[in-house]
């Protein structure tokens, strides 16, 4: 059981988090559900949120691993939205919990890593180099757009299909990331 304990804890967490908010989950309930003791839980995780982070990071990272470029970022966005929709009960229970600010921070950090890679690729293709502050500004702008769309969608119950949201997003921003990079380099805004 030791080798499979982590997987059992994760599976139990997902099942229980699909039934009630994360605030109402306890380490004891998870351990009882999957048949491990508390020490085994703490051998793998520090707390309840750590289990959620592990699930979210491992599963979502696998979904978007091949969509981290300028050419494929839309696939990464769609993969993220589809992951959220497939796990909607767990995500909605996280959204309605006191853990949401921490989950939201984690989502933002993931978005920053992905968008950094996209902006880096745009710099490379355009053969330019942004100032660090300018790159951060561009990444944060698009992070707010992407994260805001996802959070609004979650708060509204995830009813609209992810493909429709992506189509609308593409209409709004197609070509805008490279234009932003080029404009920042060209303007050379003084601080």
What pLDDT shows up at residue 69?
A: 59
What pLDDT was estimated at residue 118? 84
pLDDT number for residue 111: 83
When pLDDT is cut at 50, 70 and 90, the band that residue 68 belongs to is: low
pLDDT the model gives residue 175: 67
Nearest partner of 170 among 95, 100, 74, 78, judged by Cα: 74
Q: Which fold has domain 48-187?
A: Tetracycline Repressor; domain 2 (1.10.357)
Q: Tell me how crowded residue 69 is: count the other CB atoms within 10 A of its CB.
A: 15
> Does pLDDT of 3 surpass 80?
no
Where do the domains of the chain lie? Answer: 2-44, 48-187
**How would you class 119 by CB atoms within 10 Å of its CB: exposed for 0-12, middle for 13-18, buried for 19 or more?**
buried
pLDDT given for residue 160 in this prediction: 94
Please state the pTM of the whole predicted model. Answer: 0.78
* 175 or 138, higher pLDDT: 138
Distance CA 34, CA 41 (A): 10
Q: What's the token pair of residue 127?
A: 């053969």
* pLDDT tens digits, one per residue of 9-42: 999 999 999 999 889 999 999 999 999 999 999 9
**Residue 162's pLDDT band (cuts 50, 70, 90):** very high
pLDDT at 57: 78
Q: Is the pLDDT of residue 163 over 90?
A: yes
The pLDDT tens digits of the residues spanning 71-128 come to: 667 787 888 888 889 989 999 998 999 989 988 888 888 888 888 888 888 888 889 8
What was the pLDDT predicted at 2? 54
Q: What is the CATH number of domain 2-44?
A: 1.10.10
Q: Report the chain's mean pLDDT, rounded to a whole number.
A: 86
Structure confidence at residue 43 (pLDDT): 96
176 pLDDT above the threshold of 90: no
162 alpha carbon, distance to own chain's centre = 14
Distance CA 185, CA 138 (A): 12
Per-residue confidence (pLDDT) for residue 125, from 0 to 100: 87
- Is residue 95 exposed (0-12), middle (13-18) or buried (19+ Cβ within 10 Å)? buried
């Amino acid at each position: 059981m030791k080798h499979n304990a982590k997987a059992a804890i994760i599976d139990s967490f997902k099942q229980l988090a699909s039934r009630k908010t994360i605030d109402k989950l306890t380490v004891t309930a998870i351990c009882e559900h999957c048949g491990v003791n508390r020490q085994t839980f703490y051998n793998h995780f520090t707390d309840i949120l750590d289990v959620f982070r592990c699930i979210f990071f491992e599963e979502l990272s696998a979904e978007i691993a091949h969509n981290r470029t300028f050419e494929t970022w839309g696939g990464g966005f769609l993969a993220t939205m589809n992951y959220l929709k497939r796990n909607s009960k767990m995500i909605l229970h996280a959204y309605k919990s006191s853990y949401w600010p921490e989950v939201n921070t984690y989502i933002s950090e993931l978005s920053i890593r992905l968008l950094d890679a996209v902006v880096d690729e745009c710099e490379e293709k355009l053969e330019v180099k942004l100032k660090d502050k300018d790159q951060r500004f561009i990444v944060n702008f698009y992070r707010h757009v992407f994260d805001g769309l996802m959070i609004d969608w979650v708060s509204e119950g995830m009813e609209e299909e992810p493909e429709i949201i992506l189509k609308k997003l593409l209409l709004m921003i197609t070509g805008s990331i490279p234009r932003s990079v080029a404009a920042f380099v060209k303007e050379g805004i003084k601080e």
